[in-house]
Structure 1
C-alpha cells in the first residue's frame, strides 16, 4: 500500500513540475529562475486592437516599446501600412471638462 502511495505522490509532483515548466516555456520565459518564481521580464509586444476588413483581411495595431504599427494581414502579402505611431494624446486631463471652442464674432 505504501508503495502505491509513493508512486502516486511521485506522479503528482512530476505532473505539477511539468505544468510549471510548460507554463514557463509557453509564456516566453526560458530561465530556470523564472520557472520557480523569479521576476518576469517586461512585456514589450502587444496587440492593441484588431479590425476585420472582410473574411480574409484584418487590420492589426501592434504596440512595441510604446510605439504602434498598423499592419494589414490576410491578403496575398502582409503589408505594414503605418509605422512609428506614438501613444494617443488625451484632449484634457481626467476630471477636467474640455473647454468649448469659441469663435470670435469679428472673424466670422
Structure 2
C-alpha cells in the first residue's frame, strides 16, 4: 500500500519481460512568488526537482539581500522607502500601508 505522500505523486508503470513495476515520481518545485504582489521571484531557482533544490547551497537558493526569497525587487524597494520615511520621522507607522507594516517593522529593527 502506498504511503500518503506517494498518493499525490505521479505514478508511472515500467514494464519489463520479468514484471511490471510501479515507479512513483516526485513533481517539480513550483515557482516562488512575492508575498505582496504575487509576482514570480527572480534569482530563485524554479522548475527543478525538489530534491535537487535541497542539494543547492543557501547562496544558490536565493539572493543575499533583505527579504530575498520573500519579496520581489519592486516591493522590496517600496518597503525600503517606507522604512526610511518612518526612521526619518517623515511618516508615522500607522500611516504606512497595513500589508507592508510587518516588513517595515522588521527592516526598521535591523536598521536601529
TM-score of the superposed pair, with normalisation by structure 1: 0.20
Greater RCO (Cα-Cα under 8 Å, separation 6 or more) = 2
Greater share of residues in strand: 1
Tell me which structure has the larger Cα radius of gyration: 1
TM-score of the superposed pair, with normalisation by structure 2: 0.20
Greater share of residues in helix: 2
